[in-house]
């Protein structure tokens, strides 16, 4: 299908140069902010770093991405920002290891390997792997962001009670309460509970979809990315 019929996504705007100058920096910063925790989890797993050092390394990585033109070279098959980020972080981390080894041998030159596709695996295949760490952190981050957007939207429209029912049903620890329990807790009928849950669930899914849409270059990839995401997320 022709990609031209689809709306522009945040990632495609950055990758294709649709955003330039300050707009490009802002678009990339928005993506980076969403992926900061997953990226740091990846770096901590890949390099066996404390989280403080992983945070510093991510800041260095992001500064390099802003300063370089590597984004313009992103291959179409890396249409999802998550997949693109894994390659970039792996190569960046490999380069950091080479730099550290060179410094220990008395040299300080940095090896520019970031464009390479043949970079070795960073460390070993411990559990979880760096890829698994990034995936798990991304799932958690995007689901949390979707819940927060849903909460804010409902509270701003004076429908906070609907989110309270949704929260108690899906997010509270322990077994899910039944509709009668929720109705008694919030002074509602069971029909109200059912309606609130369905409407809020639909709103949550729309926010989730919007968040994921920004991280694919072609919205035709949205279905696959959502399918991957919902294998672990809830509701």
Q: Are residues 9 and 119 in the same domain?
A: yes
Q: Evaluate whether residue 26 is within a structural domain.
A: yes
What pLDDT was estimated at residue 79?
64
Q: Evaluate whether residue 143 is within a structural domain.
A: yes
Q: Evaluate whether residue 112 is within a structural domain.
A: yes
Which tokens is 216 given?
A: 């694919």
What pLDDT was estimated at residue 199?
95
What integer is the mean pLDDT of 134-161?
92
Rounded alpha-carbon distances, angstroms, from residue 56 to 61, 113, 115, 233: 9, 20, 22, 29
Q: Are residues 150 and 102 in the same domain?
A: no
77 has pLDDT over 60: no
126 has pLDDT over 60: no
Mean pLDDT value across the chain: 79
What pLDDT was estimated at residue 28?
80
* Residue that is last in its domain, among 95, 126, 157: 126
Q: Evaluate whether residue 234 is within a structural domain.
A: no
Q: Are residues 120 and 19 in the same domain?
A: yes
Q: Are residues 117 and 32 in the same domain?
A: yes
- Least-confidence region, from 19-28, 51-60, 153-162: 19-28
The answer, as to whether pTM is greater than 0.85, is no
Q: Are residues 223 and 178 in the same domain?
A: yes
Q: What percent of the chain is predicted at pLDDT more than 70? A: 78
Q: Residue 101's domain spans which residues? A: 3-126
Q: Evaluate whether residue 235 is within a structural domain.
A: no
Q: Are residues 160 and 192 in the same domain?
A: yes
Q: Are residues 122 and 7 in the same domain?
A: yes
End-to-end Cα separation, the chain, in angstroms: 31
d(CA 29, CA 33): 6
d(CA 15, CA 105): 38
* Residue that is last in its domain, among 126, 154, 181: 126
d(CA 80, CA 38): 15
């Amino acid at each position: 299908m022709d990609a031209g019929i689809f709306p522009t996504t945040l990632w495609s705007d950055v990758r294709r140069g649709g955003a330039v100058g300050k707009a490009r920096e802002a678009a990339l910063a928005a993506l980076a902010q969403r992926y900061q925790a997953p990226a740091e989890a990846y770096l901590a797993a890949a390099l066996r770093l404390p989280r403080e050092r992983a945070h510093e390394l991510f800041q260095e990585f992001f500064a390099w991405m802003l300063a370089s033109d590597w984004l313009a070279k992103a291959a179409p098959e890396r249409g999802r920002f998550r997949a693109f980020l894994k390659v970039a972080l792996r190569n960046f981390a490999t380069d950091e290891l080479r730099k550290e080894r060179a410094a220990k041998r008395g040299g300080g030159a940095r090896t520019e390997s970031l464009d390479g596709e043949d970079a070795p695996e960073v460390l070993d295949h411990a559990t979880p792997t760096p890829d698994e760490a990034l995936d798990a952190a991304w799932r958690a981050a995007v689901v949390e962001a979707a819940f927060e957007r849903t909460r804010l939207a409902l509270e701003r429209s004076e429908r906070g009670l609907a989110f309270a029912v949704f929260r108690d049903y899906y997010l509270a620890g322990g077994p899910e309460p039944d509709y009668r329990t929720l109705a008694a807790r919030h002074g509602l009928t069971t029909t109200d509970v059912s309606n609130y849950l369905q409407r809020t669930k639909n709103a949550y899914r729309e926010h989730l979809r919007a968040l994921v849409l920004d991280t694919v270059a072609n919205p035709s990839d949205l279905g696959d990315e959502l399918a991957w995401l919902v294998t672990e997320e809830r509701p």
